[in-house]
Structure 1
Amino acid sequence: MDLSFLGTPSGPPTRVHGGYANRMYRLDTEQGSFAVKELNLSDRRWPYRADDVFRFERAAFAAGVPMAEPISAGTDTLVHRWVDGERVPEEPAPAAYAFEVGEVLARIHALDVGWPRVPVEEPPARDWPELAERATVTRQPWAAELAGRVETFLAIARFVGTCERPGPVVLTHRDIQPWNLLSRQGRPVVLDWELSGRLEVSGELGSTALSLAKGPGFDDIRPAVFRAVLDGYLAAGGALPSWGPGWFAYMVGGWLGHTRWNILRCLAGVEAPTGPDLALSHEAVRNGVRGLPDLFGRLAEWEELLMP
């Protein structure tokens, strides 16, 4: 990748570990510090619209959305100005922070940015029995757990494919989660816009609010934090869609697809040149095989706990 336009480096790029989809580096030059992201294009689950996402990011940044400044977008490399901040831990966020995230969502949804028509999403894959069999044959460390939950994964796929998702549909970030947020002086900064696109409001609100309201598992969910996201959304001019299980369908479907994608990477058994390291893919599979059935089993509980 040619990064000469960023100035003379003070040293080689430094790998920043932890990404579950791409690979990130920090580059320091006399022009400042930059986050350089090497996109995984070899086995993405859908095409990446670099130009459209960059245009959306530029509009959000110009509108004052707290985020890393987008510098450039190429076919396989993204560059943003480096932002110093604290990682958001996997624990219930402070209510004030969650409220501001809700405000940020409303501001993003209010942006007037054109977006090309995209094909309708394909229904979730139903090949979980075959994946479990292949995992057993290849002696994957999580094979027995997956085999014991095949029927649950099929039920999850049916839910994702058939559940009604209250709209309206908006152009948005689609992945505002703790791992895509920083805390700078206690206030949110939004990172990683690669999944941007059109989505039902309920799906993004449910995904973001639940992620900020919970701890590492699902035993510590704070309804007050969940409501703080919604209150911030309303305070910034947003409107809430009708309540129901569809608020969580996007989150469940995203995790389901991410788990399946990492299963396929593990079954290949080789270290891919881009994307997450093989060890990180195994971790993602274990988290999905254990966490998704727990999440799915609690949907009715959350409807009662979190509804107004």
Structure 2
Amino acid sequence: MVTRDGSALIKHVAAEDWLDDFARAMDFEQLALSVGISMARPIPPLVEPMNHDNGPARKRLGFAAAIEGIGWVRAYDWVDGEPLGDGDDVAAWLGETLARLHQLTPTADASRPPDWYRMDRPEMWHGWLNDGQRDGRSWAALLRLHMTDVLEAAGWVARSFTAAGDYVVTHRDVEPWNVMMTGGGPVLIDWDVAGADSASLEAAHATLEFSRRGRTAPDPAAVRRTFEAYVGAGGTPFGGPDVLARRAGLRLGRLAERLRMSLGDQDLGPRELAAVERRAAEQIAEMPAFLAALRNYRL
């Protein structure tokens, strides 16, 4: 959108069911902005703050405004840049940025961890299996075959998060697709799900994902530069056999979403049912090898 004050990006956030978490995410975003993290600058709405009592309808929450007929909407100064390319070297920037984020709120309450750390509920997976078999879903036979592998992965993820203990408030979605390359360097975008996480598990996950861009395996040199930049900027060294458990948790979370979509318990949105079910089947079949690769890899 072009306004008299310049260009802006307008974004709808379907946050009606998680407003408290959304508000906390924007509080952290404000903190990161105040210390100069390279990020898209949010534009505060020109409406009255929301009322937490039984008064007028909510109109504003942090950087978001409620628009009748649309929902919660945010605006950002336009970022004049391009999506991160496979050849863009951001290893040092990534390590330094993660370390700075993890020092903003170095202790956090992890009594409500992100969903991807809470997939270790056998009754949940067996419920989906029973429903899938009842409805004749294409992935049901594979889930029955690999149920032990899925539950093993979910248990490993939950145990690793508990053992990590280094809970901070952070961005929680530091992925290559959330970085824009500009004339002034990389910019981190999309802060809506910021919240509590493990510093070491997030740092390891991001290090691996950014070093895999355009490659079949992580780039050891990029991994080393990110790790050195993270520690050099004050981050605690990370490593060990459980440090990539977060990636398994995210895979399980996406699989769970696909199963819910297949069973009609979650909206498909723009996705095609056949594609959702095909990818669910692939993820189930890949689980043993995927889990072994994560446990065997050393950063």
- TM-score bin (small chain): 0.7 to 0.9
Equivalent residues in 2 for 1:85-96, closer than 5 Å = 85-89=81-85, 94=88, 96=89
Equivalent residues in 2 for 1:1-308, closer than 5 Å = 27-41=1-15, 49-71=21-43, 72-74=63-65, 76-89=72-85, 94=88, 96-111=89-104, 117=109, 119-121=111-113, 123-124=118-119, 125-126=121-122, 127-140=124-137, 142-163=139-160, 165-185=163-183, 187-215=185-213, 219-241=216-238, 243-268=239-264, 271=267, 276-279=269-272, 282=276, 285=280, 288-289=283-284, 292-303=287-298, 306=299
Unaligned 5+ residue runs, structure 2? Answer: 44-62, 67-71
AA in 2 matched with 1:61? L
Q: Taking structure 1 as reference, are residues 155 and 118 closer, same or farther at Cα in structure 2, changes over 3 Å only?
A: closer
Q: Taking structure 1 as reference, are residues 38 and 63 closer, same or farther at Cα in structure 2, changes over 3 Å only?
A: same
Q: Offset of 1:141 from its aligned partner?
A: 5.1
How many Å separate the matches in 1 of 2:286 and 2:190?
23
How many Å separate the matches in 2 of 1:37 and 1:269?
26
Match of 1:20 in 2: none
SS at match of 2:190: coil
TM-score calculated relative to the size of structure 2: 0.75
Q: Taking structure 1 as reference, are residues 28 and 292 closer, same or farther at Cα in structure 2, changes over 3 Å only?
A: farther
Q: Taking structure 1 as reference, are residues 299 and 270 closer, same or farther at Cα in structure 2, changes over 3 Å only?
A: closer
Identity %: 27
Unaligned 5+ residue runs, structure 1? Answer: 1-26
How many Å separate the matches in 2 of 1:259 and 1:38?
25
SS at match of 2:244: helix
Runs of 4+ deviating beyond 6 Å? none
Structure possessing the higher radius of gyration over alpha carbons? 2
How many Å separate the matches in 2 of 1:156 and 1:66?
35
How many Å separate the matches in 1 of 2:177 and 2:288?
21
Q: Offset of 1:254 from its aligned partner?
A: 2.6
AA in 2 matched with 1:279? E
Structure 1 vs Structure 2 CA RMSD: 3.2
TM-score calculated relative to the size of structure 1: 0.73
SS at match of 2:272: helix
